[in-house]
């Protein structure tokens, strides 16, 4: 199957747009920007299975676009993405797949009004639709130690907020 340079460029642009989604979502306070290039039926998978087991999730855990956007919205007052360093971005127009490694720099918004910088390393594997303008499946391999610590801290900040609201 011969591929055109335009298809390769489309795949590259689609993947970069997806990877920048958390920044745009943070800036515009709009969770739907995380999914602007995801097909409506796109499923997101988390790996590795050992990480999922460590947090009590099943090995085939996945979530849909609406669930991901809702999760992001529920945490957006506690954390926001400031920047992303994208390396090893590759796309394959023959198999309609892509991959990249990212390091996101996030700001954890502390109760005292200060921000704490957190870096989260994620590797991504995606599948594209037939024209390359939408991603139909996402697998993300997370830095499990950092992810668990950040989400523990977000949970604590949420609990602190509940305590203040009830006082």
Reply yes or no: is the peptide bond before residue 82 cis, omega within 30 of 0. no
What is the structure's pLDDT at 150? 77
Which pLDDT belongs to residue 1? 46
Say which residues have a Cβ less than 8 Å from residue 159's Cβ, sequence separation at least 6: none
pLDDT at 21: 94
pLDDT for res 159: 80
Q: pTM (2 decimals)?
A: 0.85
pLDDT of residue 153: 81
Give the pLDDT score at 165: 44
The segments of the chain whose pLDDT lies below 50 read: 1, 163, 165-167
């Amino acid at each position: 199957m011969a591929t055109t340079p335009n298809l390769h460029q489309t795949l590259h642009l689609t993947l970069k747009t997806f990877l920048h989604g958390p920044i745009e979502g943070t800036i515009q306070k709009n969770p739907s920007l995380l999914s602007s290039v995801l097909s409506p039926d796109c499923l997101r998978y988390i790996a590795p299975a050992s990480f999922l087991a460590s947090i009590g999730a099943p090995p085939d855990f996945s979530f849909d676009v609406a669930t991901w956007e809702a999760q992001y919205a529920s945490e957006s007052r506690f954390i926001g993405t400031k920047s992303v360093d994208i390396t090893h971005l590759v796309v394959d127009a023959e198999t309609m797949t892509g991959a990249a490694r990212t390091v996101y720099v996030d700001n954890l918004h502390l109760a005292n009004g200060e921000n704490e910088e957190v870096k989260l390393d994620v590797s991504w594997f995606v599948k594209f639709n037939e024209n390359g303008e939408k991603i139909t499946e996402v697998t993300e391999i997370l830095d499990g130690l950092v992810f668990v610590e950040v989400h523990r801290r977000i949970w604590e900040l949420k609990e602190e907020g509940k305590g203040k609201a009830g006082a």
